[in-house]
Structures are given as C-alpha cells and as structure tokens.
Structure 1
Amino acid sequence: MERFNLAFFRGAWRITAPYWKSEERWSAYGLPAVVVGLSLGLVYINVLITEWYNGFYDALQHYNETAFWADMLRFSWLAGLYIAGYVYQLYLGEMLQIRWRRWMTHHYLKDWLSDRAYYRMQLLSDGTDNPDQRIADDISAFIRGILKLGLGLLSSVVTIASFITMLWILSNRLTIPIDGQKWEIPGYLVWAALIYSVAGTWIMLKLGRPLIGLSFNQQRFDADFRFNLVRVRENTESIALYGGEDQEHKGLGERFASIFRNYWAIMRRQKIINWFSAGYGQAAIIFPFLVAAPSFFAKQIQLGLVMQISSAFQQVQGGLSYIVTIYPDLAAWHAVVDRLTGFSEHMAEVRGVATDINAIAQETADKLQLQSVSLHVPDGRPLLSDLSLSVEPGETMLLTGPSGSGKSTLIRALAGIWPFGSGRIVAPPKNSSLFLPQKPYLPLGTLRDVLLYPHGQSDTTNDTLTEALTAVGLPRLIPQLDEQKPWPLILSLGEQQRIAFARILLQKPQWIYMDEATSALDEAAEGELYTLLRHRLPNSTVVSVGHRSALNAYHKTRLQLTGNGAWQVIPAGA
C-alpha cells in the first residue's frame, strides 16, 4: 500500500477507533478537545500578531517612539499568551499520547497473547516480521504521528480560514502595473497562494511517493538487524562453543548492508525533496514582497502594510502547503499504519486459519481421553493416525519413539496449541496442568519470579521456596532469590530443568506433561527427580516424553510411536 487511498484510511480508522470507544473514552475525547481549543487560540493570537505588524512597522517608518513602545507592550502580552498556550498544548498532547499508548499497548498485547496468536503466527504463516517492533515502536510512532499530523492539519485549516479574508482585503489595496496601466484583480494574492500551493503539493506528492515504501523497509531492516543482535546475545555460549563468530559477523553484516542500501535510497530521494522544499519555501518568503514592492515604492502603501501582507500571505500559503512541509513525516506515518494494519490482519488471519484447519475437538474434563486423534505436519505428512486411549487421574505414561515420530507434537496437541489434525481430545483444565518443555522458559526478573512462573502465588514464603530449591539439588541459589540476573545464561540447561521440577513442587499440578524435561541430566539425577515427584505428588498424573530406557521404571504404561503414524500402548517395562 503506497497510496493515500480509501483502504489506507479505513486501516487507519480501524487502528484509531477502539480507543475512542474504550473505558478511557472520556479522556480520549476530553484531552483532544482541550488541545484543539488551545490550537485554535494560538491561531487567533497569530491573527492578532499579523495585525500588529502593520502598526509596529509604521511606527518604525515614522520614527514614532510612543507608538513603538505601545506596540512593544501589546506584543509582550500577545507573546506571553502564545507561550503559555503553546506550552500547555504540548504538555496536554504528550499526556494524551502516553495515555493512548498505554491503552493501545495493552490492547495489542492482549490480542497478540490471547488464543496463542503469537504462537500461531509463527506456526501457520510467514507471519508479521518482528511483532515486538509493532508493539514497542510502531504503536508509539502511530500515536505520535496522528497527533502531530492531525493537529497540524486542523491548525492549517483554521489558519487558512482566519487569514484568507485578511489576505483578500489586503490584495484589493494593491495594483499590478502592466504596460504602463494599473490592473486590479480581486483577491489576487489569495489566488496566487492557492495556485502556488496546489502546484507545490502536486509536485511533492509525485516526488515523495517512493518514500512510503522506503520508510516501511527501513523499519523492517532495522528491526531484523536488532532481532539478530538479540539472538547473538541470547545464544552467546552456543556461538562461542561452535566458534561461530565469523558466521555471525557475516550474517549481521549482510543485514546491516540492507539497512545501508535502503537508507542510501532514502537519502537520494530526500535530497530531491529537500531541493524542491527549500526552493519552494524561499520563494514563498520573497513572493509577497515582490508583489507589494511596486505599490510601496510608488508610496501608495506604507511599510507596515507590506509586512502585514507578507505575514498574511505566508500564513495562507503555509496552510495550503501543509502537505509539502509535512510529507516526509506523512510518508513515515503511512508506513507505520501499513505495518500495524498488517499486524492486526495477520493476527485475525491466523485465528481464522487455525479455526478452519483445526478439526481436533477440544473439551475439558477431569480426565485425559483421546478419541480417533490423527496428527500431521503443515505440509500434510502424517505423524499419528487414529490414536484412542484414556489416562486416568494418578496414572503415569511414557511416550517413546524415534525422532520425528510426533512425540512432542502430541504434547502440543494435548496443550491445545497444535492445529493440524483431527479427532477429539478431552483434557483437564489448564489451571490444574503444567507443561514442561525440554528447554524451560525462564522469564526476566528475580529468581523468585522464575520459580513461581506461570501459576505460582506471589505470597509464597521464603521457606517454601528454599525447601523446593533444596529438594531439586539447587541449594546454592537460595541466597539469590531476590536477585535479578540473566538466569538463562547463568544456569546450565540441567540446572534450568531442575528449576522446572521446583516449579512442579511449588505449584502442585494434578496433571504434569514433560517433553524430555530431564534430557540434560544424567540418569542418576533424572531418577532422583522422578522419585521426588512420585513421593511429593503421588496422586498427580504424569505424561512424559523420553528416549532413555531407565524412564520405564517411573511409568506404568508406554505409548510407543513408530514414526509412520502407527502406535501401540504397552506396559512400561515391556
């Protein structure tokens, strides 16, 4: 989308409208009303200052000291009012901006995180590039842009309406000498400003259109570069062990090269725009003086009127040329609207696609039951065919099979996040279940926050946390409970898996699903944790994925997947 067409404005309205209908609608209407009122007041003060020019410069021309000081006093209180209005216009505008951003950020976060849209966007499509940038940067840029552009447009319209009558009247006091004759064209300064501005706007739209796509790409390239820098930071140990510094440097260099090339294209286009914009602005300054000069030197008008004509012309011409002066910002805002619109559409799309393709009926009950469940990958390759089984509360089941046979995919289906399949799954409610992936997720925050993620109670005592850490073999971490550190980097994968078992002890789920949750531990440590689990939570149901035969000792039954869709349920020791 590179044009300001109906589809663009519909997209901008879909982004804007929810805030005005939200629980904050009173401030959403009230603050803009005050800001608009102040903007109108500033325009009115500009009208008074333009009228002031006439008397002030006439006083200078006639060496009238009394009138000079009187006009200086009048300007002082006009300037004081203008400064106060300007300061509070900016202050209240910033207040509106941060309140709107707060609401809009929560709105987009809720939309992105609900129904696991964040997961499905990665799973079901190429997805929106860098959703983090959409929420962290583009929302702020959208609000900042709409306030700046909207208030600027309003101010321009009001300025035109306020000054055009003045300029029309002033035009009638001037004559144009042509071939020795004096011609009077009613309101010709108004027509000159209109023609000048329309021509300038048309040229600017033609020159500036490529900036929309370039601005869109610049944000995307910047975000891609930043994302890959974060990946290096998050995988420092793996990169160091592989000795992959040269490859990472090459990859980052290629991504920055995209930034460089695109920015160079922006520079070249901006140079063309700046040539035109600067020339356009300078010509607008001198034009009213050229028009008024013959009458001034013929002593038909005085200096004050010349200055008033100049000020009025520049106000009208500036209002009519708003697009010319603001176009780079407008192009950048267009790109922001495109990105946010695409982000919202992607979230809606993946929900719709997931609904269309997800033939697995999900129900909730205090049991685990699968009826004729079949799973496949996005390209249609089958993983599991017509699986039917029941797992009663308190039972233990081990999922085994070769790599790629669908063990982890079955865990995802039990969690309700895998959409490719058919059949019926009856599963316990989420608040009584805990899923442990092979690599535990450690959120940002203190070690206490890490342990209590995601369902823990914030009022859990230090003694309880201390006991859990001791039980899983991490007593050395007890003094660091309230310290914020990069825990994924500090703790080994085995220690992170012990943290996951500590979460089980703290949260006491009735249903526990573990996807190779002890893969980084030796068999002795693995056995200790499973024994601890059965001792502390003897009535909890455990479904594990694993490859080691030693795990059979801690499970009653085994679901063996063959890798071609076939399966069998056998005793764990068989």
Structure 2
Amino acid sequence: MRLANLKAQTAQVWKLSIPYFQSEDKWKARAMLAAIVALNLLGVYLLVLLNEWNQVFYDALQNKNQPVFWQQLGRFTYIAFALIILAVYKFYITQLLEMRWRAWMTTHYLVRWLSNQAFYQMELARFAKNNPEAGPDNPDQRIQEDLNQFTSLTIGLCMGVLNAVVTLVSFVGILWNLSGEFSFHLGGSEYFVPGFMVWMALLYCAAGSVITFYIGRPQIKLNFQQQRVEADFRHHMVRVREYSESIALDHGEKVERAHLDTRFGAVLANYLKLLKAQKRLIWFNSFFGQAAVVFPFIVAAPRFFSGAIQLGSLMQIASAFGRVQDSLSWFVDNYSSLATWRATTDRLTSFEEQIQALALIPSAQQATDSVASNTLEARDLTLRLPDGSVLLDGVNLQARPGDHILLSGPSGSGKSTLFRAFAAIWPFSSGQVALPADAMFIPQRPYFPDGTLRSALAYPSAAGGYSDAALRQALVDALLPDLADQLDLEAAWGQKLSGGEQQRLAIARVLLKKPRWIFADEATSALDATAENLIYKRLLALVESAQGAIISIAHRPGVAAFHTQRWTLEPEPAGAVARYRIAQTPM
C-alpha cells in the first residue's frame, strides 16, 4: 500500500512538473536544471577532495611535519574557495529556476482559472449542499502560496536526493576501504566482516529512517490542514475589509471579531498539534544527529589506539562516515519538508483535477448551448440548483427585438439563475439558449476593479478604447456628473461609492458601450424613484435606437411601467418535477 502511495505521489509530482519543462521556456529551464545538477556533482567531487585532505593534514599534525602542514593549508584554501563559488552560483541558479518556474505555473493556472468561468463554477461546486467539500478551498492560496512552495520544495528536495545518492556512491567506497575488517568469535570460530563501518552506517541510518517515518507521519495531514485554516482566516479578514462599510453600519464588529477569533482559534489549535508533532520529531532528530558525531570515533577508536591507523586515517574515516551517514539520513533530516511538500502537492493536484473536470462540463453535464442570435430563445431549458433539485423544467421562451420584458417572481425563485443560464455561465442546466449578439448583463452587485475611474468605467475593455468625452458623457447620463472630472483618480470604487452610485456607475458602463440587448438584474434598486425613472428612459432609448430589447428583474411598480410583457415565476404544486414554472403575459 505504501509503495502504491509512493507511486501515486511520484505520478502527481511528475504531472505537475513536466508541463513547464515542455513549455516555450523549456530550453532555458532544462539548461538551468542541468547546471544545477552539474554544480551538485562538482560539489560532491570537492567534498571527496576535502576528505582526502583530512588524512594528509591530520597525519602532518600528528607527525609534526611543518612543510606538509603549510602545503595542505594552501590546498585547503583552493578547495574552500571553489566550494564558496559553487555555493553562490548553485544558490543563484536554483533561485532563478524556481522564480521562472513559479512565474510560468502562476500564469498557466491563472489563465485556466479565469477561463470559461472556472473561478465562478468552483465556488458554485463548493456550496453544493450535498457535497460541501467539492472543489478546492481558497484557490487564491493555491496559486499564490502553494505554487511557490511546490517549485521551491520540488527543486530543493530533488537536488537533495541527487546530492545524497551521488555522495553515498562517492564515499561508500572510501569508507569501505578505510574500514578494514572487523573480526569476532562465535562458537569457537572467527568471523570477518569487511567494510564494517559501511554496514554500521547502513544499520544506523535504516533504524533512524524507520523511526522518523512513524514519528513524523502525522505531520502530512496536519500540514495540509494548517494551510487550509490559515487561508480561511486570511479570507475572512479580506471579507471584513471588502464589506467594511456594511459591517460598520450594522455595528457588527463584535460578531466579526467572534468569527475571526473562531477561525484564528482553529489556526492555533491545529498549529499546536503540528508543533507537538514537530517537537517529537526534533527530539529524535537531535539525538540522532548528535550521536552521529561521535559514533564513527567510537567504532574506529580500537583500531586507532591499537596503532593500526593514524590520526589522519581516523579523521578521514570520521569524515567519510559523516558523508555516508548524511546521505543515508536524508529522509530523516528532510521529513518535515517532505510532509509540507506532500500536503502542497495534494492541494495542487486537487486544484488541477477540478480545473480539468470543469473543462469537461459542457459535454459531461449537457450545459446550456449558447448560440449568437438576433433573438433570445430558450428551448427545453431545465435549471437545477447545485444540490440537484430542479428549479425549472423544460422551459421554452422567446424574446424579439423591440420587446421590453419584466421578469418577476418570489424572492429565491431563480430569476437571477435564469439570467445566468441566458449568459451560459450556469453549469447546472440543460437545453439550448440562443443569446442575442451584443448583449450586456447588469448584475445585482456590479464589480469595479481598483484603479482609475476610467478603468472601472470601461471594464472589462481597455479604457484607451474610449475618448474622455465619451467617458464623461456616460457618467453625466448616468446621473454621476460629479465624477466626470475624476477619470484619472485611483480608488477602490467598490468601497468608495455608495450602493446607488455603484449602480449608476454600472449603468454608465452600459451607456458607454451601447449594447443592443440589456439584461438588468435589480439594476436600479438603490435609486430613488425620480432617478430610476430617468435611468430607465435612457436605457429604453438606447435599446430602441439599436433595435434591441431589454429584460429586467425588478420588484418596484415604477419599473414595470417601462415594460410591455411579463414573465412570472409561479410555484408549482407539491410533488411536481420542478419548483416553479414561467407564465408569459402582457402588461
């Protein structure tokens, strides 16, 4: 089972890693990776030279051979200087590769996350009642933090394994030759064990690795959970900042403090568990590491005191044993990093699987087929909620240019969901929708990016595509004349503006872009009657001049006066397939 888990983990890492090394940046990536490998191999070779230096240097000390002593000090200077240069460039190239790899993966995942409304569908999946764990939590953390950890840990751990293997191969022969034979008597016979120090190093490190695995195994799950609760805590603080005005008006500081305390309490509780697990591992690792310092001297001391070897050979044995022990103890020394890497890899793998699954939704779930048309037409349209319950079943609707339609119904009946199906962003649907060309949707909560007012007004188009005169006129027509001279002012417009101002800015965006079809979802609910009346007159004039249509969701009687047809969502009787049906009547 553990071998299967190792194979699965290796497959996950390979699947996440290989796209970069096959990308448009592959030659630079491969060249830097090859350079890092070469530097690691060169580093091992320099350590071999340093090990040989130990014997000659300490023998010179024991024999009081001053010329050899000064000669070896000079040789040490060359080796040490080479190790310093190697360490600097290995660090620099490694960090450069990590940076370029992270940059590529971040761009790669941002493109996929923001394509085909994947970011939106992930949130829908997470709030499905029958599957609360569906979809990865905190995708922002996956892209910002997990990718950074994955690239750095993958390169660091892989190069660590390579270095450990090469060091082991290089020094095990040296240690074997220096070990001599160990003899013991058993049952009247004398037995000889060649390469005794090698076998002792293997036994010492094998025992340490097994104990480390069992002591440190809980850290994998705890690291995974720690990343989740940290992200939840950070996410709630971001929400407090985004909704600061609403919270302040409701005097909700105590409630938000309680919510934050609860989330931070989860952070501390899990961290305490992780801390205790790490403490147990550090207890063992510290004992294991300190014992390794004197272990080779204890084993080789009898040969030294018997005169079989000199001080230089003893120091060379200790050095070689230390290198072999370090190589074999790589798992022991890096278990905490491996646990973090495993948790990070699992989180990225689930993120990758979710993105791939969302890419298959149109064919797998029979999602709405949206086709550009001059009319709005829904044929056999069925809408479901994320929990699988049917909202509307087999709906057939048609709207033509010149129509002014009011969509009404009880709160929660699915009016906004029907708009989402028209826009082809609702994945829990089937049937066909022909969406008119050149249509714009005005949502209940319009979004404005932080930055200049001209960017917020032109969003998602580039502000440079519109003249200052057009931008100012749109603001004036949307009853925001005070903002007409603030096009280059930078602000968080979603927080700076009141609810009514935000709605009027969203209307200004529509008046600027002049679509033929407008879908307005409670677009004027925060406006007074006079302003609402004037705004709707201008929206109707816009669609009539473009020979388009408008479909509105609204509850106010004043809005109904601007429409000629009504689509009403009416409850179906108990036991029906769907919760609601749509009745079409003239105003």
1:484-509 per-residue CA deviation (whole Å, 9 max, x = no partner) reads 32221111111111111111122222
Which residue matches 1:434?
Answer: 440
Separation (CA, whole Å) in 2 of partners of 1:380 and 1:9: 36
Separation (CA, whole Å) in 2 of partners of 1:279 and 1:293: 21
Which residue matches 2:250?
Answer: 242
Which one of 318, 321, 338 corresponds to residue 313 of structure 1?
321
In 1, are the aligned partners of 2:362 and 2:368 still within 8 Å (CA)?
A: no
Which residue matches 1:100?
Answer: 101
Separation (CA, whole Å) in 2 of partners of 1:193 and 1:346: 45
Q: How does 1:166-315 map to 2 (within 5 A)?
A: 166-172=174-180, 185-315=193-323
Q: How does 1:426-465 map to 2 (within 5 A)?
A: 426-429=434-437, 432-465=438-471
In 2, are the aligned partners of 1:2 and 1:212 still within 8 Å (CA)?
A: no
Separation (CA, whole Å) in 2 of partners of 1:207 and 1:455: 56
Which residue matches 2:521?
Answer: 515
In 1, are the aligned partners of 2:516 and 2:549 still within 8 Å (CA)?
A: yes
Q: How does 1:22-421 map to 2 (within 5 A)?
A: 22-125=23-126, 126=132, 127-172=135-180, 185-352=193-360, 355-358=363-366, 360-421=368-429
Task: Compute the displacement of 1:467 (Å).
Answer: 2.3
Separation (CA, whole Å) in 2 of partners of 1:461 and 1:114: 29
AA aligned opposite 1:63: K
Deviating more after overlay: 356-365 vs 507-516: 356-365
Which residue matches 1:495?
Answer: 501
Separation (CA, whole Å) in 2 of partners of 1:85 and 1:428: 64
Which residue matches 1:529?
Answer: 535
Separation (CA, whole Å) in 2 of partners of 1:75 and 1:479: 72
Q: CA RMSD for the aligned pairs?
A: 2.3
In 2, are the aligned partners of 1:400 and 1:546 still within 8 Å (CA)?
A: yes
TM-score, normalised to structure 1, is 0.94
In 2, are the aligned partners of 1:456 and 1:507 still within 8 Å (CA)?
A: no
Structure 1 residues 399 and 298: alpha-carbon distance in aligned structure 2, compared to 1, 3 A threshold? same
Structure 1 residues 372 and 183: alpha-carbon distance in aligned structure 2, compared to 1, 3 A threshold? closer
AA aligned opposite 1:213: K
Deviating more after overlay: 34-43 vs 364-373: 364-373
Which residue matches 2:489?
Answer: 483
Task: Compute the displacement of 1:351 (Å).
Answer: 4.6
Structure 1 residues 159 and 304: alpha-carbon distance in aligned structure 2, compared to 1, 3 A threshold? same
In 1, are the aligned partners of 2:57 and 2:69 still within 8 Å (CA)?
A: yes
AA aligned opposite 1:57: Y
In 2, are the aligned partners of 1:2 and 1:209 still within 8 Å (CA)?
A: no
In 2, are the aligned partners of 1:284 and 1:314 still within 8 Å (CA)?
A: yes
Separation (CA, whole Å) in 2 of partners of 1:302 and 1:103: 55
In 2, are the aligned partners of 1:43 and 1:158 still within 8 Å (CA)?
A: yes
SS at match of 2:64: coil
Stretches of structure 1 that go unaligned for 5 or more consecutive residues are none
Task: Compute the displacement of 1:191 (Å).
Answer: 0.9
1:517-572 per-residue CA deviation (whole Å, 9 max, x = no partner) reads 1111112111222222334452143221111121233333322222432323333x
Deviating more after overlay: 540-549 vs 99-108: 540-549
SS at match of 1:439: coil
Separation (CA, whole Å) in 2 of partners of 1:131 and 1:345: 13
Structure 1 residues 567 and 77: alpha-carbon distance in aligned structure 2, compared to 1, 3 A threshold? same
Separation (CA, whole Å) in 2 of partners of 1:336 and 1:380: 32
- The structure, 1 or 2, with the larger RCO (C-alpha pairs under 8 Å, 6+ apart) is 1
Task: Compute the displacement of 1:353 (Å).
Answer: 5.5
Structure 1 residues 281 and 187: alpha-carbon distance in aligned structure 2, compared to 1, 3 A threshold? same
SS at match of 1:383: strand
AA aligned opposite 1:24: D
AA aligned opposite 1:450: A
1:453-493 per-residue CA deviation (whole Å, 9 max, x = no partner) reads 11345342333222222222223234432333222111111
Structure 1 residues 447 and 182: alpha-carbon distance in aligned structure 2, compared to 1, 3 A threshold? farther
Task: Compute the displacement of 1:53 (Å).
Answer: 1.0
Structure 1 residues 167 and 405: alpha-carbon distance in aligned structure 2, compared to 1, 3 A threshold? same
Q: How does 1:518-557 map to 2 (within 5 A)?
A: 518-537=524-543, 538-539=545-546, 540-557=548-565
1:97-153 per-residue CA deviation (whole Å, 9 max, x = no partner) reads 111111111111222222222222222343211111111110111111100100000
AA aligned opposite 1:124: A
Task: Compute the displacement of 1:203 (Å).
Answer: 1.0
Separation (CA, whole Å) in 2 of partners of 1:325 and 1:296: 30
Separation (CA, whole Å) in 2 of partners of 1:308 and 1:282: 19
Separation (CA, whole Å) in 2 of partners of 1:374 and 1:339: 34
Identity %: 44
SS at match of 2:114: helix
Separation (CA, whole Å) in 2 of partners of 1:184 and 1:420: 74
AA aligned opposite 1:218: Q
AA aligned opposite 2:355: M
In 2, are the aligned partners of 1:468 and 1:505 still within 8 Å (CA)?
A: yes
SS at match of 1:419: coil
Separation (CA, whole Å) in 2 of partners of 1:196 and 1:404: 67
- Are 1:568 and 2:583 matched, yes or no? yes
Structure 1 residues 260 and 309: alpha-carbon distance in aligned structure 2, compared to 1, 3 A threshold? same
In 2, are the aligned partners of 1:558 and 1:569 still within 8 Å (CA)?
A: yes
In 1, are the aligned partners of 2:205 and 2:329 still within 8 Å (CA)?
A: yes
Which residue matches 2:129?
Answer: none
1:7-42 per-residue CA deviation (whole Å, 9 max, x = no partner) reads 222222221122122222212211101111111111
1:361-395 per-residue CA deviation (whole Å, 9 max, x = no partner) reads 43232321122323333345443344323222343
Task: Compute the displacement of 1:313 (Å).
Answer: 0.5
In 2, are the aligned partners of 1:469 and 1:477 still within 8 Å (CA)?
A: yes
Separation (CA, whole Å) in 2 of partners of 1:363 and 1:562: 28
SS at match of 2:446: coil
In 2, are the aligned partners of 1:438 and 1:516 still within 8 Å (CA)?
A: yes
Task: Compute the displacement of 1:177 (Å).
Answer: 8.2
Task: Compute the displacement of 1:208 (Å).
Answer: 0.9
Deviating more after overlay: 551-560 vs 200-209: 551-560
SS at match of 1:129: coil
Which residue matches 1:505?
Answer: 511
In 2, are the aligned partners of 1:175 and 1:182 still within 8 Å (CA)?
A: no
Which residue matches 1:470?
Answer: 476
In 2, are the aligned partners of 1:456 and 1:506 still within 8 Å (CA)?
A: no
Task: Compute the displacement of 1:355 (Å).
Answer: 4.1
Structure 1 residues 306 and 337: alpha-carbon distance in aligned structure 2, compared to 1, 3 A threshold? same
Separation (CA, whole Å) in 2 of partners of 1:104 and 1:169: 47
SS at match of 1:398: strand
TM-score, normalised to structure 2, is 0.92
